[in-house]
């Protein structure tokens, strides 16, 4: 059934990086920046949460009213949930930071994915066409695998 039809498909390309001092510094800097950003978000969350609670209490004729207390409790619960979410993200980044520090030079690690297109025709091996990767050292392509 070879009628010469060619189909263009999208495929993922795995990007693998060779660990170098420059790569490690860059990865650690990105992670540190993410951690610092989360710390800022946590501080802002606490401040804004307290401001909202203070405002609710201030606007109430009786801050000890059970409805006011319920409203304050809800706000505090929302703040606590968001805090937990941000702290979990921070733990993940700290774990990644530790993993990056433990990497050995010249080790190859997966860094992400790109997408490209390729032509597919009758008789092609789809699995082989889909298994593409590039190896990069400090931004320079060292190898194209699966081509």
Instruction: Check whether residue 91 and residue 26 sit in a common domain.
Output: yes
Instruction: Check whether residue 88 and residue 109 sit in a common domain.
Output: no
* pLDDT given at position 68: 84
- CA angle centred on 55, ends 50 and 58, rounded to 5°: 125
Instruction: Check whether residue 10 and residue 47 sit in a common domain.
Output: no
Averages of pLDDT over runs of 10 residues in the chain (147 residues) are 81 96 96 97 96 88 82 93 97 97 96 94 92 95 89
Instruction: Check whether residue 43 and residue 6 sit in a common domain.
Output: no
* pLDDT given at position 2: 55
Instruction: Check whether residue 31 and residue 78 sit in a common domain.
Output: yes
Instruction: Check whether residue 86 and residue 134 sit in a common domain.
Output: no
Domain with 73, as residue range(s), is 21-103
* pLDDT given at position 106: 96
Instruction: Check whether residue 144 and residue 94 sit in a common domain.
Output: no
């Amino acid at each position: 059934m070879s009628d010469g039809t060619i189909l263009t498909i999208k495929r993922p390309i795995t990007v693998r990086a060779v660990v170098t001092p420059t790569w490690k510094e860059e990865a650690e800097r990105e992670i540190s920046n993410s951690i610092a950003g989360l710390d800022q978000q946590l501080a802002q969350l606490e401040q804004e949460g307290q401001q909202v609670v203070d405002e609710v209490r201030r606007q109430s004729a009786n801050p000890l009213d059970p409805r006011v207390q319920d409203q304050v409790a809800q706000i505090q619960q929302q703040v606590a949930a968001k805090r937990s979410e941000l702290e979990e993200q921070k733990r993940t980044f700290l774990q990644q930071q530790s993993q990056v520090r433990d990497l050995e030079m010249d080790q190859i690690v997966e860094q992400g994915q790109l997408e490209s297109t390729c032509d597919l025709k009758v008789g092609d091996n789809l699995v082989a066409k889909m298994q593409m990767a590039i190896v990069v050292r400090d931004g320079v392509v060292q190898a194209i695998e699966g081509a």
